[in-house]
Chain A
Amino acid sequence: MKTTESADSNQVFEKFHHYDWENDLVYQAGLKNIYNSYFKANTSMTPAKKQQIITNSKVFYFKKTFDVQIDLGQYGRWVQESCSPGFSNTPEISLEHQPQPQQEQGEQSSLSYDELVELIVAGKEIPGIRKIPNIVLEDQASRSVLSQRRKPWEIKDDDEKEKEIEIEISSAV
């Protein structure tokens, strides 16, 4: 009983993990809504929080579309167990990567330059490359409220010009 259940959830997690979010237009449209209505209004929101909301939106979408409930806790453990070398992982939806523990990130890229060149030359997959959605939030650019500052050399220029004028005035007088 228990084994079938875990086999089922393995399948579910695998499907969730490898789901092609980028090319699911319905999901992408929903994601855009989240950005427009939710993130825009909360400018102080941390990237980790945003990532969490995105992950939750994926869970919600899965439930709505495939009638499958993803348990994020179990999924996180499954990712850890399954994503051994050779398993293409997508860290952006792994909860274990929040909020970007520095050590872990550092180790992730600790391939030496030579190791890296070997992988590239051999045409092998470079580990840890994430897919970043190609989204542009064109209408959301904030307006500038600060006035432009004069650069140090522009201030000095002006000071010198003033001095020159002062000298001219004093010599004229």
Chain B
Amino acid sequence: MLKFRTSGYSGFSVKYSSFFDNKIAVATSANYGLAGNGRLYILSINPNGQITQDIYFDTQDGLFDLSWSEINENHVAASSGDGTIKLFDLHVGTYPVAVWNEHHKEVFSINWNLTDKSSFVSSSWDGTIKVWSANRKQSLVNLSSSSSTFAPTTKPSSVPLSKSQKPGSNLTNTQCVYQAKVSPHAPNLIASVNASSRLQLWDVRSARPLQMDILCHNGLEALGLDWNKYRSTVLATSGVDKTIRVWDLRMITNKFPASHSLNGSNSAPQNEMVGNQLPVRNVTWSPHSSNKLLSCGYDMTARIWDDVTDKRAPRTINNSTGCINSFNNHKEFVIGGDWSLWGEPGWVVTTGWDEMVYVWNSNRRY
């Protein structure tokens, strides 16, 4: 286990480079992201087991997510609480080399398109999802997540922003699109999750881009999302209801159940992983295996799950044996995590509000 302290800054997101074996970037915010500056760290994992800081970039507002560029090894895009997205260059330092400013509120997620590679997608508390080209100042596509949803179906938010905070005293609203990600198999397909408990699917080529809109976490906020890298129709989501759910788009026959009933019932997931004591913030499928999943939780654990959907009985949910490892070294909420793309499979990195970055082997117990 290797570690690095982001002193004075709470970790919100951490990602491995798409080019370098040993580089990671960490998006952080001072004061838990409520007020104050942000800082993007670029770190190197050295052969001697030390994590060292290559460079950092300070921003006026807190940073909530980041994505390494897929076309330039020196570029990292970071999304900020002030609605901006900034592109930083490892060789330039201090200030960004590009800024995109269209979102009206916090930009909570940013993810590069893994197949198109010239574009990326962002999602915001302003209720929109935007597709951008790295070469253009204006967004290419603007999708409104909230117009398609019915606010009354949503129960009051209870994402705890601190372990000492009482549920219900929320600071969020139902518009938030917590995450949006482009499919790693189809460059025009975007999945998103929002505070209205919806999992939405978008095809940006279509005149009516919204392809699916289902209630995915019992009316409670849906926080995390990822596409499976090996099974192109499979997605995982996580939420305030403390569960992780696995969905197979082929099996969801009613793509718009919410439009028929204000209380739109849950569609049936393929699998459900239960065990977290508090909401699950983030889920990430392994790049090396079709069934391994990393989760980051408000219960201060990062967990490794095995999605053991039974092939002989595919609609049987097997949630009792899912959790195969739990990392308990974080002392506060675990917010961001990623799998190492290169080298020996199984290494992951996690970060959280304890101002710590841990690099650890998911095949070992700590």
Residues of A within 8 A of B (CB): 35, 39-40, 43, 45, 47, 50, 100, 102-103, 105-106, 108-109, 111-114, 116-117, 120, 126, 128-138, 140-146, 148-149, 151-153, 156
Contacts and interface: CB of A to CB of B under 8 A. Distances in A.
Interface of B: 5, 7-9, 18-19, 30-32, 34-37, 55-56, 58-60, 70-75, 87, 89-99, 114, 117, 161-162, 164-165, 184, 229-230, 287-288, 341-342, 345, 355
B92 to A, nearest CB: 5
Query: Ordered nearest first, which 7 A-B pairs have the shortest CB separation?
Result: A113-B162, A105-B8, A109-B8, A141-B97, A144-B72, A153-B229, A106-B7
B94 A39 contact: yes
A144 B74 contact: yes
A148 B117 contact: yes
A50 B94 contact: yes
Contacts of B18: 148-149, 151
Contact of B91 (A43, A126, A135, A156): A43
B97 A138 contact: yes
Contacts of B117: 148
A108 B7 CA distance: 9
A137 B95 contact: yes
Nearest to A146: B73
Given A35-B94, A137-B95, A140-B97, A152 B74 contact: no
A103 to B, nearest CB: 8
Contacts of A105: 7-8
A43 B32 CA distance: 31
Nearest to B287: A152
Nearest to A156: B230
Nearest to B169: A117
Given A142-B89, A142-B92, A153-B184, A106 B8 contact: yes
A106 B8 CA distance: 4
B99 A136 contact: yes
B284 to A, nearest CB: 13
B97 A116 contact: no
A43 B288 CA distance: 35
A114 B70 contact: no
Nearest to B339: A152
B13 to A, nearest CB: 18
B55 to A, nearest CB: 7
B345 A152 contact: yes
B36 A142 contact: no
B228 to A, nearest CB: 9
Contact of B92 (A103, A108, A132, A137): A137
A117 B34 contact: yes
Given A47-B93, A113-B164, A129-B35, A136 B98 contact: yes
Given A102-B7, A126-B31, A132-B60, A40 B92 contact: yes
Contact of B5 (A102, A144, A148): A102
25 contacts: A35-B95, A47-B55, A47-B56, A100-B7, A102-B5, A106-B8, A109-B9, A113-B162, A130-B58, A132-B60, A135-B95, A136-B98, A136-B99, A138-B98, A140-B89, A141-B87, A142-B92, A144-B73, A145-B73, A148-B18, A148-B71, A149-B18, A152-B341, A153-B230, A153-B288
B36 A128 contact: yes
B143 to A, nearest CB: 26
B32 A113 contact: yes
Contacts of A106: 5, 7-8, 355
Contacts of B35: 116, 120, 126, 129
Given A116-B31, A129-B35, A136-B98, 19 more contacts: A35-B94, A39-B93, A50-B94, A109-B8, A109-B31, A112-B164, A113-B161, A126-B35, A129-B37, A135-B95, A141-B72, A141-B98, A142-B90, A144-B73, A145-B73, A148-B117, A149-B19, A151-B18, A153-B230
B72 A136 contact: no
A74 to B, nearest CB: 26
Contacts of B91: 43, 142
A116 B184 CA distance: 40
Contacts of B355: 106, 109
Given A148-B117, A149-B19, A141 B75 contact: yes
A141 B74 CA distance: 9
